[in-house]
Amino acid sequence: MVLEMTETYTIDPSLRPDPGSCAFDLDNALASVVALQTKVPDNAYTAQALGDERAGHGVVISDTGLVLTIGYLVIEAETIWMVDHTGQAVPGHVAGYDQETGFGLVQALGRLNAPAIPLGTATEVHVGDPVIFAGHGGRANAVNAIVADKREFAGYWEYLLDEALFTEPPHPFWGGGALIDTDGRLAGIGSLFVQKNSHELDSFDGNMVVPIDILLPILNDLQRFGQVQHPPRPWIGALSAEADDRVIVVNTWDGGPAEQAGLEPGDLVIGVSGEPVASLGQFYRRMWALGAAGVTVPLDIVRDGRLAEVSIASADRSAFYLAPKLH
């Protein structure tokens, strides 16, 4: 069976990696990247935000057909197909998902003609280092890049990485792509396209990559149980942004804890349980420090120029997902 990718893109030939300049077997490393397509039920909780048909990449990390990808591609998926570098399509199922890191694992249900790439470490990848950002499709769909930054990343969907990798130039089809270091090892998984304006990087366009290092402590749990074996973090279902040292509620998830508690778009969050917050990172860390999912999260807010407090009964985010319900 052969599947056609629903996304098409072209990499500038001048950006493609040259095997002659690599100290490893480039084609073998690129062959570890598979195309990944998923179908999610129309009534899935994430369907409205992420769509019911998703496409991206995955990276084979074991000889048993275990594939690492970015979690938003597979959460609530009812069907998964993967295509290797020979064009062979193989079905798969979600083997694990971790909300905190954003990683997803897929187990191939047939033989993938793809080698397992060795795992590296992002700690040995430094700002300015050359890397390869690879999508499925070999050299034609890979980009020579550099690590432009390593810093904290806070996502509007209650997501936080202490240190993410930022690469440039951007790969045009980034989700689940492989970040490969100069030794041919997997250093991270592509997550987002980002734009940044700063004094150091004027009009930066690039990709945010989740470092492979945060997978290693949880990989055994994900393989054995499908989820990490510790209590889930509190989730309130707020979509928030950071601007001018302020946290602004942009929206809330339908039926989520924040909406049920009366949090509204436009509210400014200035504190959590009496502790001030001025960034998304502070907001999340102080909320998560209150306890596990189910704990009450008291928010100090400003609405229409007036101080107020909203107490939100947090939840386990996975309880809102269609089965299998994974953290």
Question: What CATH number does the domain located at 238-320 have?
Answer: 2.30.42.10
- Class assignment of domain 1-230? mainly beta
Token look-up 């942009």 returns 250
Q: Which tops the pLDDT comparison, 199 or 218?
A: 218
| Residue spans of beta strands (DSSP E) within the chain | 33-39, 53-60, 66-70, 79-83, 89-97, 103-108, 130-134, 142-155, 159-168, 178-180, 186-196, 204-211, 238-243, 246-252, 268-272, 275-276, 296-303, 306-313
* DSSP for 303-325, written as a single string: ETTEEEEEEEE-B-GGGGSPSS-
Query: Which pTM does this prediction carry?
Result: 0.94
153 to each of 3, 18, 150, 194, 274, how far by Cα in Å?
A: 34, 31, 9, 11, 24
Q: Look at residue 325 and tell me whether its pLDDT is greater than 60.
A: no
Q: Tell me the pLDDT band of 7, cut-offs 50, 70 and 90.
A: low
* Selected residue with higher pLDDT from 197 and 321: 321
Per-residue pLDDT tens for 272-296? 999 999 999 999 999 999 999 999 9
Express each pLDDT in 49-62 by its tens digit: 999 999 999 999 99
The pLDDT value given to residue 324? 59
Name the pLDDT band for 9 (thresholds 50, 70, 90): confident
Q: Tokens representing 151? A: 């810093």
In the chain, alpha helices (H): 26-30, 47-50, 219-225, 257-261, 280-288
Domain boundaries, the chain: 1-230, 238-320
The pLDDT score that the predictor gives to residue 202 is 54
pLDDT for the residue 327? 45
Q: Cα 22 to chain center, whole Å? A: 28
Q: What is the pLDDT of residues 88-128, one digit of tens each?
A: 999 999 999 999 999 999 999 999 999 999 999 999 999 99
Residue 42's beta-bridge partner residues? none
- For 164-196, write each residue's pLDDT tens digit: 999 999 999 999 999 999 999 999 999 999 986
**pLDDT, the chain, mean:** 94
pLDDT at 203 over 80: no
Note the pLDDT of residue 199: 52
Residue 18 is predicted with a pLDDT of: 96
Q: Can you spell out the DSSP letters for 187-216?
A: EEEEEEEEEE--SSSTTEEEEEEEEGGGTT
Listed residue (3, 217, 176) closest to 89, CA to CA:
3
Note the pLDDT of residue 4: 41
User: 63-88, pLDDT tens digit by residue?
Assistant: 999 999 999 999 999 999 999 999 99
